[in-house]
Structure 1
Amino acid sequence: MSTVLPVQVSGALKPLINVNHEVPALPSCFPPTLEGELAWNGADFVSESTFIYELTGADKNEIRAGLAHFKGLELDGGELGPASFPLPTLAAKFRGLSRDVYDGKGFCVVRGIDPNVYAVEDLTLVYLGIQSHIADQRGRQDKRGNMLVHIVADNSSKERDEHHRHSTKSISFHNEESGDIVSWLTRSTAAAGGKCIIASCYTVYNVLAARRPDLIRVLARSDWPFALPRFKCRPVIFYEDSRFIMNFGRAALLGSAIHPRPARLPCLTSRQIEALDAIETIAQATQLEFQTQAGDMHFINNLAVLHRREGFADGKSATEKRHLVRMRLRDSQRGWKIPQSLKGEWHAAFEEQDAAKVWHLEPMPDAFFPLRKYPN
C-alpha cells in the first residue's frame, strides 16, 4: 500500500492546480507530507479481506459464550465491558483491529454475525461486547443522552424526510461531531444502494499540500463559523502531537433544509467554500466504497477518515429496509490527544459522569433531532 499519494492522482483533480504564480507556504506547524498507513487511496485495496475480519465458526461460538456469561451476571447493558463479556481468543484479535483503526489504515469491518439468529436485545449486547474490545468508552450522541442512534429511512414528516439520518438521499463526506471512532451495526440493508464510502483525510491533506497549500492555510485558521450545537469559531484541520486531525460537517457550516442558518450568523467566505469543495473533490477521487452486509460492524477513525453514504432505496420487506445502529467510541489506551477546540464536544460525549444515558433498542419514539442552539 502506498504511503504517499502521487500528486498526479486523477484528471478530476486538475482544477485544484493553483493558478497563482506565488505559492504560499504551509502553516509552520503542518508538515509537507503525511506518511504512513493512514495516507491511502481507495485503489490500494484490491481485496476486501485487507479490511474485513470474517468471523469463523469458532469465533461465533466464543461470542455466544461471552453473551451467555454476561447475561448470567444480570448486569445492565450499559455496564457491559471486556471483563464482563470475555473473549479468550478473540480479544487479542479485536485489540489488533483497534490498533489498525487508531494507528493503521483507520478502519475495519467485523463480518459474520447473522442478525436473524438473535433477539434484538441479544444482538445489541453482541455488538456492545465486540465493540468493548475495540474501544472501551462509549459516548453520548445528543443532549438527551442517546447512546444508540438508529439510522433508518422515514418520510412520515418533512422534518424526518429531510434529516440526513432518515433521508434516502446521498450525503457528502463529513466527520461526526465527537468520538475518536464512529461505529455502526448494520441490522438490515436496503434493497438497492446504500454503500459505505470512506476517504482518507491524510490523502486529502497530501493532495492539498502539494497542489493548493493556500487552502491548507484557510482550513487551519480558527475563523470557521461552526454551529454544532452552539455557535463557535474554530479550525477544520489540526496538527498536534504528530497527528493530523480533520473535523467538519457541511450542515454545521452552511445549515440545512431543516436547520436553516440564521442570517445573523457569519456566512462562509468564498475561499472557505472553495476549500470545502476541494476536500469533497479529492475525497471522491480517492474514495473506497464497498457494499455492507446485514450483521456488519464498522469501526472508522473519525479523526482521520471521512465517511459518506450513497443514496438508497428500501424494499417492502423488513430485511430490505436499511437500518444502522450508530455509536461514538473512544479507547482509553489508544485515544489520540484531542485539540483544545474540540474538547467541549468530547467532554460532553465521554466525560460528563452524571449525564443521562439512554439506550433505545429501536428508533427513538419521538424522532428526536438535536437542534442547534444559536446566540440571541
Structure 2
Amino acid sequence: MASCKAHSAPAAVLVGNLPAPLAEPAGLPEGFPQTADSPLAWIGAQFSKEDEYILQLGQEDIREVEAALDQFKGLDGDLVSRNNFPLPQLGQKLERVRQDIHKGRGFGVIRGLDPHKYSVEDLTMLYLGIQSYIANRHGRQDRKGNMLVHIVADKSSSLTAGHHRHSTAPIRQTFHNEEAGDVVSWLTRSTAASGGRCIIASCHTVYNVLANERPDLVRALAGSDWPFFIPRFQCRPVLFNHDGRIIMNFGRTPLIGNPTHPRPDHLPSLSPRQLMALDAVEKVARATELEIVTKAGDIHFINNLAILHRREGFINGASANERRHLVRMRVRDDELGWAIPEDLRDEWSEAFETKKSKVWHLEPMPSGYFPLRKQPN
C-alpha cells in the first residue's frame, strides 16, 4: 500500500465563513511570508475595463503579423520563432504582455485575429508566431509528444463525455493548474453559442487570505503528504515557497479522482484537513475570480504557477462557428521562466525535454491518439 510521510496583506475583499479549524491554528510554515506582496495578488473586481488585460490588435498590427506569416511561409523546414517571424512594432507591445505574464498580474489576452480569414495552417502559424514573443520553448502535453491539445465537446463515448476537456457540463471544473508548463496558452478558434467563459483567480490572493485567516490551512497545503496519482503516484505539496515566490500547482482529480479518472482503492485518501484546505482554496478563488468573455481569435496566456483557472459550462450551436474549439499549449520562457520546485521538475522535464518526439495535430487528434488516462502511468 502506498503511503506518504508528512514534513513538517490579506486580499482587499472579505472572504468569511471559512471552515472552522480542526485544531488550534498553527502559524505559517517556516519561511513563508505573512503577505505575498506582488502584482499577482489581484481580485477580479479591480479590473473594471477589459483593456486593462486585453491587447487589441489594430489594422497595422494585423498587417505586420500577416507579412511575418508570408515571410515564414517562404522558408523551408523551420518551426515558427522570433527569428523567422519578425514583428518589429507589435513585438514591443507583446513584450509588455510577456513581462506581465512573468512579473506582473500573470495573465493577458491578445485579441483581433479573425480566425475565419485564414486556413487552419495559417491560423496555427499566426498563433505560434505571436506566442513566440511571450515564451520561446514549447512543451509536450503527453508522453506521445502531442504539442497541440484540441478542447472540443465530444459525446462519442462516456469516457470523453465525462472528461473535463470534452464535457459541456457547468459543474465539472473546479479551480486548478495544469500539471506542467510555466505558461499555458490557448487560441480560441470558435466559441460556443452561449457560455464557456474563461474564469481565473490569483494564487497569491488565495494565499494572502488563508495566511491571514487560516495559517493552519497554509501549513496543510505546504505539507509533503498530498497523494497525487495523475500523471503518476507522487506525494508532494500543493503550495510552495520557492526561490522567493509563492507557487501553487494542483488539481482535484489527481487528488480525489472522478468518474472518468476513478482513484485506485489501494492509494491513500486525503485527510479531513486536506479536504478542508482544498475547499478553502476553492471558496477564496471563487470569491475573487475574474470572468473573461472570450471571442473567436483570442489568444490567452496565464502564468500556470500563479494563476488558477476553470471554465463555465457551455451550449454549442448548430453551425461550426458556434461550437467551442480551443487549441491549448504549454510554453516556457528561458529568460523569464521561474525556478521550478524539485517536486515538479520531473513533469517539467517530461514536457520540455528537447530530444523527445513532438507531434503537431492541426485538427482534433485521431481517436485514441491522445488517450484520456484512467490510471496513473
TM-score where L is the length of structure 2:
0.94
State the Cα distance separating 1:137 from its structure 2 match: 0.6
Which letter maps to 1:157?
S
Aligned to 1:121: 121
Counterpart check, 1:58 vs 2:60: yes
Aligned to 1:39: 41
Q: 1:5 aligns with which of 2, 11, 27?
A: 11
Counterpart check, 1:161 vs 2:161: yes
Task: Rate the CA distance shift 1:197–1:293 in 2: closer, same or farther, 3 A.
Answer: same
Q: 1:208 aligns with which of 207, 210, 217?
A: 210
Alpha-carbon contact 2:10-2:209 (below 8 Å) kept = no
Unaligned 5+ runs, structure 2: 1-8
Bigger shift: 163-172 or 279-288?
163-172
Aligned to 2:6: none
Secondary structure of 2:261's match? coil
Alpha-carbon contact 2:201-2:285 (below 8 Å) kept = yes
Pairing 1:266-277 to 2, within 5 Å after superposition: 266-277=268-279
Aligned to 1:337: 339
State the Cα distance separating 1:370 from its structure 2 match: 4.4
Which letter maps to 2:292?
F
Alpha-carbon contact 1:4-1:36 (below 8 Å) kept = no
State the Cα distance separating 1:369 from its structure 2 match: 2.5
Secondary structure of 1:46's match? coil
Counterpart check, 1:244 vs 2:246: yes
Aligned to 2:87: 87
Aligned to 1:298: 300
Cα separation, 2, equivalents of 1:175 and 1:19: 26
Cα separation, 2, equivalents of 1:328 and 1:253: 22
Aligned to 1:192: 194
Alpha-carbon contact 2:139-2:329 (below 8 Å) kept = yes
Alpha-carbon contact 2:115-2:189 (below 8 Å) kept = yes
Aligned to 2:315: 313
Secondary structure of 1:197's match? strand
Task: Rate the CA distance shift 1:19–1:149 in 2: closer, same or farther, 3 A.
Answer: closer
Aligned to 1:69: 71
Aligned to 2:355: 354
Which letter maps to 2:328?
R
Unaligned 5+ runs, structure 1: none
Cα separation, 2, equivalents of 1:146 and 1:302: 19
Which letter maps to 1:99?
Q
The number of aligned residues is 366
Aligned to 1:28: 30
Task: Rate the CA distance shift 1:374–1:114 in 2: closer, same or farther, 3 A.
Answer: closer
Q: 2:178 aligns with which of 167, 173, 176?
A: 176
Cα separation, 2, equivalents of 1:175 and 1:50: 23
Task: Rate the CA distance shift 1:282–1:35 in 2: closer, same or farther, 3 A.
Answer: same
Alignment RMSD (CA, Å):
1.4
Task: Rate the CA distance shift 1:327–1:17 in 2: closer, same or farther, 3 A.
Answer: same
Cα separation, 2, equivalents of 1:216 and 1:372: 30
Which letter maps to 1:196?
C
State the Cα distance separating 1:20 from its structure 2 match: 7.3
Aligned to 2:104: 104
**Percent of pairs identical after alignment?**
57
Secondary structure of 2:83's match? coil
State the Cα distance separating 1:4 from its structure 2 match: 5.3
Secondary structure of 1:281's match? helix
Cα separation, 2, equivalents of 1:4 and 1:262: 38
State the Cα distance separating 1:227 from its structure 2 match: 1.3
Bigger shift: 131-140 or 14-23?
14-23
Q: 1:228 aligns with which of 214, 230, 233?
A: 230
